[in-house]
Structure 1
Amino acid sequence: MMAFVWKRLLGTIPSLIGVVVLTFFISHALPGDPAAFFAGPAANAASIENIRATLGLDRPLPVQFLHYVIDLAHGNLGRSLTTGQPVLTDLIERLPASLELSSFALLFAISIAIPMGVWAATRINGGVDHACRGLVTVSAAFPTFFVGLLFVYIFYFLLGWAPQPLGRLNEITFSPPPHVTGAYTVDALIAGDWPVLRAALSQLILPAISLGLFALAPIARITRAAMLEALGSDFIRTARASGLPVRKILMTYAFRNVLLPVSSVLGMVFSFLLGSNVLIEQVFGWQGVGAYAVSAVIASDYAAVQGFVLMMAVLYVLLNLAVDIFAMLVDPRVRYEG
């Protein structure tokens, strides 16, 4: 097991090097001048040039890249121009918020997509199957930010059921729970602060559903397809011929074979949710890494953009490694050799 893990980690090094190189040069190709943004609208050309020299932006691009790589090797992602803090500190502070939102979105998608996919596969071409395919098509058709804005308009503005989209918590009324994990719902649960837990969950429901609807489609599709393949296999026909109960056939034999392809999709979907929650965080005022990345792009904050992309790449590698390890544990037929 450990040999496989180390082999996979070593195999990701060329990909991470490529991410570092491409991110650096693409971020420096973004329109805008970070020195002018940092200097402010009232600055003259001389002060902008002084700031550019202070930031090291007047040096040739290969020299800047060399210094960036040296800093990266020492664990220094640079300092953000928009916050004034080290980029690594910003990302660590904001990552729990994005992980919390993406995790609840994935839980919402799983709780609907997997039962729906299994149910549709057992009633192929029936009403449930058509309803499943229709819901999957509709949920994948609309952008997440449009769904988020629609939910805000309906459930907050028209009906008044949802709280004002002010972020993770209405800090005018509630104080954040003591910091343990950085996720307000988990920290409030640990502290036993039930009013804060309810308030954090109420702020989380709409953005999580808005993001989870888009993730629902691939999970439901792969669940339905894998379940159909399992139900059509020889061992299921043998189990039916042996007179085993239908529930046992579905859940013990068929669904167990569905876990492997579904778990592979879940890893990709979760990494997609982490990267695609940028617009949802903007709509709901959610202070995660997505909102941080948007601010960095607008300000041409090179260090923040590069740090965000590099963090997403590392998380993607770790998620895929976790999926592969889970596949080895779930299905003993899976072997990784050579």
Structure 2
Amino acid sequence: MILSFAKRIATAVPSIIGVVVVTFVLARALPGDPASYYAGSSATPQSIAQIRKALGLDKPLWLQFGDYANRLLHADLGTSLSSGQPVFQDLVTRLPASIELTLCALVFAMLIGLPLGIAAATQPGKASDHLCRIVVSVGAAFPTFFVSLGLVYVFYFKLGVSPEPLGRLNDTYFTVPPTITGLYLIDTLLAGDISAFWASCAQLILPSVSLGLFALAPIARIARASMLASLSSDYCRTARAMGLSRTRVVYGYGLRNAMLPVINILGMVFSFLLGANVLVEQVFAWPGIGAYAVNAVISSDYAAVQGFVLMMAILYILLNLVVDLAAAAIDPRVRYDG
């Protein structure tokens, strides 16, 4: 198995190189001039030219790419023009916020989607099956920003049961916990600040539900399909013929074999949500990497855009490795094939 994972990492190297090249080219194909944006609206052509020279944008593209590749080899993603900070520092600072939001959304989607898919597969054609189809259709049809704005309008403006969407924690009333993991739910508990913990939970509910509804659809759909295939297989029919209880057949035999496709889809859903939660972050003023990437694109911040895409590519590869480990733990055949 170790050899198979080493091969997987080796095959990922050309993908990362391709991401670096494509991101560099596409970033410079974006409309706008970072030197003009950085200089301001009242800048003269001479000052813009000086800034372009200071940023190295007056060099040929192949020389700019050479400088960028050389910095990457030294683990330097460059400096963001928007924040004035190293891109690596910006990403590391904002990444925990996006990970916490994505994890909570994925947990919500799993808690709803997996039981719903199992219930639909064990009772095909009945009320639970129709409910699963409706939830999947609704979850896939409505865009995340529409759901986010609707939840804010109902639960904050109308009912007043949700806190104001001002990011991860309202620092006017609560103390931001010391950064240990970067995840407020964990850091507040480690700091012993229970009130800040519950406040962080309250801030997470609406954005997690908004993002989780979108992830719920593929999870419920895959869970239903894989459970139907598993329950109709020979080993489940044999287990029923031997007189085993329905619970043992469904959860002991059917569910374990049906979890492999669900685990595979979880890795893709998590990586997709991590990069696509920008609209939810904008609505709830969430200081994550999605909002950072949008601001970088608007300001033609080449270093920030390239750093974001490169980080997402590496995270996607790592997530695939984690999914492979989980699949091998669930299904021994994966280990033998590896």
Alpha-carbon deviation of 1:234?
1.1
Match of 1:162 in 2: 162
Which runs of at least 4 in structure 1 moved beyond 2 Å after TM superposition? 335-338
Letter of the 1:282 partner, please give it: Q
- Supply the AA of the counterpart residue of 2:168: R
Q: Which residue of 2 aligns with 1:273?
A: 273
**Counterpart position of 2:147:** 147
In structure 2, the partner of 1:228 is 228
**What secondary structure is seen at the aligned counterpart in 1 of 2:215?**
helix
Query: Is structure 2 residue 18 aligned with structure 1 residue 21?
Result: no
Task: Say whether residues 1:59 and 2:59 are aligned partners.
Answer: yes
Partners of 1:28 and 1:213 in 2: CA distance: 35
Count of aligned positions: 338
**Is the 1:80–1:86 Cα contact (8 Å) retained in structure 2?**
yes
Over the matched positions of the two proteins, sequence identity in percent amounts to 59
Whether the 8 Å CA contact 1:226–1:261 is kept in 2: the answer is yes
* TM-score normalised to structure 2 length: 0.98
State how far apart, in whole Å, the 2-side matches of 1:145 and 1:45 are: 40
DSSP-derived class of the 2:332 partner: coil
1:197 corresponds to: 197
2:297 corresponds to which residue? 297
| Root-mean-square deviation over aligned CA pairs | 1.0
Mapping for residues 182-331 of structure 1, pairs under 5 Å: 182-331=182-331
Query: d(CA) in 1 for partners of 2:155 and 2:45?
Result: 49
Q: Deviations over 1:64-95 (max 9, x none)?
A: 01100000010000000000000000000000
Greater shift in the superposed pair: 240-249 or 64-73:
240-249
SS at match of 1:333: helix
CA distance in structure 1 between the aligned counterparts of 2:68 and 2:132, rounded to whole angstroms = 49
Deviation of 1:254 after TM superposition, in Å, equals: 0.5
Letter in 1 for 2:31: P
Aligned to 1:177: 177
Residue identity opposite 2:284 in structure 1: F
**Structure 2 residue ranges without an equivalent (≥5):** none
- TM normalised by structure 1 equals 0.98
**Cα shift at 1:333:** 1.3
**In structure 2, what residue type is equivalent to 1:128?**
S
Deviation at 1:337, TM superposition (A): 5.4
* CA distance in structure 1 between the partners assigned to 2:36 and 2:114 by the alignment: 51
- Give the Å deviation of 1:37: 0.9
CA shift at 1:261, angstroms?
0.8
| 1:30 and 2:30 aligned | yes
Q: Corresponding residue for 1:113?
A: 113
What secondary structure sits across from 1:166 in the alignment?
Answer: coil
Whole-angstrom distance in 1 between the partners of 2:93 and 2:163:
24
Give a deviation string over 1:140-173, Cα, whole Å, max 9, x none. Answer: 1011111111111111111111111110111111
- Give, as a single letter, the amino acid of the residue that structure 2 aligns with 1:237: R
On the 8 A contact 1:296/1:304 being kept in 2, the answer is: yes
1:47 corresponds to? 47
Which blocks of at least 5 consecutive residues in structure 1 are unaligned? none
Matched residues in 1 for 2:323 and 2:127: separation?
A: 33
| Amino acid aligned to 2:275 | G
Output the CA distance in 1 between the equivalents of 2:190 and 2:336: 39
2:129: which partner in 1? Answer: 129
For 1:288 and 1:49, the matched residues in 2 are separated by: 33
- Judge which range, 204-213 or 237-246, deviates more: 237-246
CA distance in 2, matches of 1:312, 1:145: 22
Distance 1:239 1:214 in 2: 36
3-state secondary structure, aligned to 1:12 = helix
In structure 2, do the counterparts of structure 1 residues 337 and 259 end up closer, same or farther at CA, with 3 Å as the change threshold?
A: closer
Deviation at 1:335, TM superposition (A): 4.1
Q: How far apart are residue 336 of structure 1 and its match?
A: 6.2
CA distance in 1, matches of 2:101, 2:199: 14
